[in-house]
Structure 1
Amino acid sequence: MKQKAKDENVLAQNRQARHDYFIKDTYEAGIALTGTEIKSVRARHVTLRDGYVQIINGSAFLENVHIDEYKEGNRYNHDPLRSRRLLLHKKEIAKLAEVKAQKGMTIVPLKIYLKHGFAKVLIGVAQGKKEYDKRETIKKRDQDRELRRKYRI
């Protein structure tokens, strides 16, 4: 029952990321949002699909994540694709900058959820999969599904 309550707090997930990347490590970060953005996030109007994290001058920014304009926001609405600052410790940002400098590594948002009333984003340090890796993952998943189906009573 506790797991179900935890899943209700997930506002958006990037399922495509687990298909396209090997996730090596994850970090939890806060997001600096405006008033209309947080209302739109709580209404689950978020798309993480093409998002990524960029490190600029010792700060981490969430790029290319689409948060719809809040319907009742009128002239105070936000730009849907603006850069949003991630709230991380300096040591974590330094680690992420080191990883980002390596060839083939990227940082992607995996999900946005609420924790104690605050919006948090789970970001993953990821390495891109090749086409044959993706096929191998699909093959393994299908085999596991067949085994579960076969031994289910």
Structure 2
Amino acid sequence: MVKKKPTNKDDNLVAQNRKARHDYRVLQTYEAGIALTGTEIKSVRASRVNLKDGFAQIRDGQATLMNVHISEYEQGNQFNHDPLRNRKLLLHKQEIKRLAKETDKKGVTIVPLKMYLKKGFAKVLIGVAEGKHEYDKRETMKKRDQEREISRVLKHY
């Protein structure tokens, strides 16, 4: 009997927002499902997603993913979707309440970090994030360079 290997989130990675961790300090992450149409999920499976300018908002007790570009499906004809439409995030009520409470603070937002497929369903890893200032970004780069230099020196010993 063949054993199934454990699935990892990165195995089915569709899109990643690399700029998010540079521009924001991620405080907490949540995994959320997305309500997609038929042609949207086909585009997601083809990795035709851009999370770069995306964000999420909590309105009327619902979480909505905004400004995420999912390209039109090439064979979609008249059933195609609007690439920048708002999409509902599927979260538990308690998670939505917690997110709403955290985003009431000044300078805190919800940012999509990754989109991946899990058991055939599209999932988004969203992060509650705080915006970084320019000096914070330089400090992060400085620390990264120092750690790289230390590991390089230790590698030779």
User: TM-score, normalising length from structure 1?
Assistant: 0.95
Aligned partner of 2:51 among 44, 48, 53: 48
**Correspondence for 1:104:** 107
**Correspondence for 2:80:** 77
| 2:137 is the alignment partner of 1:134 | yes
Output the amino acid matched with 2:129. Answer: A
| 2:10 is the alignment partner of 1:31 | no
- Give the 3-state SS of the residue equivalent to 1:152 in structure 2: helix
Output the amino acid matched with 1:47. Answer: N
What is the Cα deviation at residue 102 of structure 1?
Answer: 0.7
**Correspondence for 1:124:** 127
Aligned partner of 1:64 among 67, 71, 77: 67
**Correspondence for 1:94:** 97
Change in Cα spacing, 1:109 to 1:77, as seen in structure 2 (3 Å) is same
Question: Share of identical aligned residues, percent?
Answer: 67
What is the Cα deviation at residue 65 of structure 1?
Answer: 0.2
Give distance in 1, aligned partners of 2:148 and 2:70. Answer: 35
| 2:14 is the alignment partner of 1:11 | yes
Deviations 1:54-106 (A, max 9, x none): 11110000000000000111111000000000000011101111111110100
- Give the 3-state SS of the residue equivalent to 1:33 in structure 2: coil
Q: Which runs of 5+ in 2 are unaligned?
A: none
What is the Cα deviation at residue 148 of structure 1?
Answer: 2.0
- Give the 3-state SS of the residue equivalent to 2:95 in structure 1: helix
Deviations 1:5-47 (A, max 9, x none): 6422111000100001110000000000001000000110000
Change in Cα spacing, 1:3 to 1:148, as seen in structure 2 (3 Å) is farther
What is the Cα deviation at residue 3 of structure 1?
Answer: 8.3
What is the Cα deviation at residue 4 of structure 1?
Answer: 8.8
Output the amino acid matched with 2:37. Answer: T
Greater Cα radius of gyration, structure 1 or 2:
2
Give distance in 2, aligned partners of 1:126 and 1:98. Answer: 13
Paired residues in the alignment total 152
Output the amino acid matched with 1:28. Answer: E
